[in-house]
């Protein structure tokens, strides 16, 4: 009888230990995933920059150039001339994105395209001298 009681109490103790262990492990997992999520969130930023351009062709060139490594979304509006980019700040920066856009021939509020890069644009897209009416 005493022996049986010992076994039962031991089993109970083990079960409690097991419960505590499971609780402990789940708390650790929860905090890890929460931490990872937070890191992910703070890492992703959305910014808006003024980028010159004329038409739909400019739009596709600007957006294509904006998609450097780490950029999740790039959208340029030809009416407002605003480029909205969402990117991972650990992978790239606004300056880097605007530099890539300048390499494609487009001026922005921070980076001016070289005359060489600008000269490669089709006449309709020469935003420095006019609009193409598209």
Which residues here bind Cu ion, judged by CB under 5 A?
54-55, 57-58, 125
C-beta closer to Cu ion: residue 54 or 108: 54
C-beta closer to Cu ion: residue 53 or 94: 53
Alpha-carbon gap, residue 130 to 125, rounded angstroms? 8
Buried b (16+ CB within 10 A) or exposed e, 122-131: eeebebeeee
DSSP-assigned beta bridge partners for residue 97: none
- Least distance CB 66 / Cu ion (angstroms): 15
Max Cα-Cα span within the chain: 100
C-beta closer to Cu ion: residue 54 or 87: 54
Alpha-carbon gap, residue 91 to 40, rounded angstroms? 12
C-beta closer to Cu ion: residue 101 or 125: 125
- Least distance CB 107 / Cu ion (angstroms): 13
What DSSP designation does 54 have? -
Alpha-carbon gap, residue 122 to 9, rounded angstroms? 85
- Least distance CB 62 / Cu ion (angstroms): 9
- Least distance CB 100 / Cu ion (angstroms): 17
């Amino acid at each position: 009888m005493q022996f049986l009681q010992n076994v039962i109490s031991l089993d109970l103790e083990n079960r409690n230990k097991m419960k505590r262990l499971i609780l402990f492990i789940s708390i650790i997992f929860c905090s890890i995933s929460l931490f990872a999520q937070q890191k992910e969130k703070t890492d992703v930023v959305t910014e808006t920059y003024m980028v010159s351009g004329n038409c739909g062709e400019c739009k596709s060139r600007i957006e294509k150039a904006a998609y450097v490594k780490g950029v999740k979304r790039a959208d340029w509006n030809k009416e407002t001339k605003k480029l909205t980019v969402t990117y991972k700040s650990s992978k790239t920066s606004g300056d880097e994105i605007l530099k890539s856009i300048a390499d494609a021939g487009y001026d922005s509020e921070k980076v001016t395209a070289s005359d060489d890069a600008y000269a490669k644009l089709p006449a309709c897209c020469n935003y420095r001298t006019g609009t193409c009416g598209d």
